[in-house]
Amino acid sequence: MSRMYRYLFNLSYIGTPFRGAQRQVKIGDDNTTIQGNIEIALKNFQPINQIVVTTSSRTDSGVHALHTTMHTDLERLNGEPYSTRGLTYQLNKYFMNNSLPIRILSTYGVPNDFHCRYAVSRTYLYRLVVINSEFNTLACHIPIEDLNRAYYFCSTRFDIEKFKSATKLFTGHHDFRTFMAKAPLKPDKITRRVITRFEAIENSNKLYSTFSIPDTWMREVDSCTHIDVVIESSGFLYRQVSFTSLSRELFEFECLKRRL
C-alpha cells in the first residue's frame, strides 16, 4: 500500500537569475523560479503524486537565501519513504548539471502536519557600502564579488551613528502601509507588523579582494564604510524591506539631513 511522506528541505540559493522563490505559472513547469525548479528536479524521483513544493517565504526577484526552508509530500509506488540523503544528493546533482545556483543543505522526514510557513522568525540581511565621495560614477566600479550582493552609493555626509539611531525607530509594532512598494488591493488588509530587530552593524570584513578592485577606485577603497543591516520579524509584507524601498529611504534620510 502506498503512503504519502512529507520532507523538509533546508536550502540556499543565489536569486539573481530567478523571478523569485514562488512559482509564477499555475499550469505546467516553471523553470524561472526556485519553487518551480525544485518541483521539476523532484520529478526525477518519479513519485506517483502531483508534486507541490511549499515555501517558508516568498522572496522577490534577485533576492538570495543563505538558509531557507521548503517542504513537499512524496508518494512512491512501493509505499516506502525516500532516502533523505539520496534526495539531497540527487537534487544537488541535478542543480549542478543544469547550472542552477540552488543547493540543498539537508533533507529531513517530518510529520505530515508539519508546515514550513509557520516559522518563528524571518531575517533579512542587507549589505551597504558607503563610498566617501561625491562622484557617483564610482559606484559603477563595483568589485565583481559584490555584484548583486551589496548596495553601493556615494556620500560625504552619511552619518553612520545617526543611521544606527534611525533603525531603532522601526522596532516594535508599527503600521507599514506607506512603506509597501505597492498599495494593497484590499483597503482592510492588515499591514501592521512587529519588527523584533532592526540593526545596522559596521562590518570590517570586506566582501572583495584587493585584486578585483578597479584602478579608478583604488583611491577611495580605504574610505568605504561597510554596513550590515539586519531586519528580523515573524513576517513581512510584500516587498516591505526590498532593496528598492530601503535605498529610497536611505536617499530620503540623506536629503533630510542635508536640509537640517
Domain total of the chain: 2
List pLDDT tens digits, range 24-36: 888 789 899 999 9
| Inside any domain, residue 168 | yes
Instruction: Let me know the angle formed at the C-alpha of 128 by 160 and 143, rounded to the nearest 5 degrees.
Output: 130
Residue located via cell numbers 540556499 = 12
Residues 135 and 93 in one domain: no
| Inside any domain, residue 129 | yes
- pLDDT, residue 243, reads 47
Asked if the model's pLDDT at residue 245 lies above 70, the reply is no
| Inside any domain, residue 130 | yes
| Inside any domain, residue 229 | yes
Could you tell me which residues come within 8 angstroms of residue 65 by beta carbon, excluding any fewer than 6 positions away? Answer: 11, 12, 13, 15, 21, 34, 59
| Inside any domain, residue 27 | yes
User: What is the pairing mode between strands 172-175 and 192-202?
Assistant: antiparallel
| Inside any domain, residue 115 | no
Give all strands of the β-sheet with 122-131 in edge-to-edge order: 151-154, 122-131, 224-233, 192-202, 172-175
Residue 53 phi, psi (nearest 5): -95, 135
Query: How is 63-126 classified by DSSP, letter by letter?
Result: --EEEEEEEEEEE-TT-PPPPHHHHHHHHHHHHHHTT--EEEEEEEEE-TT--TTS-S-EEEEE
Residues 38 and 88 in one domain: yes
Residues 133 and 49 in one domain: no
- pLDDT, residue 251, reads 46
Residues 141 and 58 in one domain: no
Asked if the model's pLDDT at residue 80 lies above 80, the reply is yes
3-state secondary structure of 43: helix
- Given 59, 81, 110, the domain boundary residue is 110
Residue 133 phi, psi (nearest 5): -160, 155
**Which stretch of DSSP H or E encloses residue 256?**
helix 243-259
Give the three cell numbers for residue 181: 512598494
Residues 192 and 138 in one domain: yes
Residues 128 and 210 in one domain: yes
Residues 126 and 216 in one domain: yes
What gap in Å lies between CA 81 and CA 83, rounded to an integer? Answer: 7
- Given 83, 110, 137, the domain boundary residue is 110
Cβ contact 230:124 at 8 Å? yes
Asked if the model's pLDDT at residue 248 lies above 60, the reply is no
What gap in Å lies between CA 34 and CA 15, rounded to an integer? Answer: 8
Residues 45 and 174 in one domain: no
| Inside any domain, residue 117 | no
Q: Which domain holds residue 87?
A: 4-110
pLDDT, the chain, mean? 80
CATH of the domain at 149: 3.30.70.660
Band (pLDDT 50/70/90 cuts) for residue 253 is very low
List pLDDT tens digits, range 214-240: 665 555 555 788 898 888 876 666 555
- pLDDT, residue 74, reads 97
Residues 186 and 128 in one domain: yes
Query: How is 139-183 classified by DSSP, letter by letter?
Result: GG---GGGTTTSEEEE-SS--HHHHHHHHGGGSEEEE-GGGSSS-
- Given 110, 135, 160, the domain boundary residue is 110
Residues 19 and 71 in one domain: yes
Asked if the model's pLDDT at residue 45 lies above 70, the reply is yes
Considering the chain, what percentage of its residues have pLDDT values greater than 70? Answer: 75
CATH of the domain at 88: 3.30.70.580
- pLDDT, residue 154, reads 82
Residues 200 and 133 in one domain: yes
List pLDDT tens digits, range 127-185: 888 887 776 666 667 777 787 888 888 888 888 898 888 888 888 887 777 766 566 55
List pLDDT tens digits, range 109-128: 999 999 988 877 788 888 88
Residues 234 and 130 in one domain: yes
| Inside any domain, residue 116 | no
DSSP 220: T
Cβ contact 226:159 at 8 Å? no
Report, as an integer, the average pLDDT of 188-197: 78
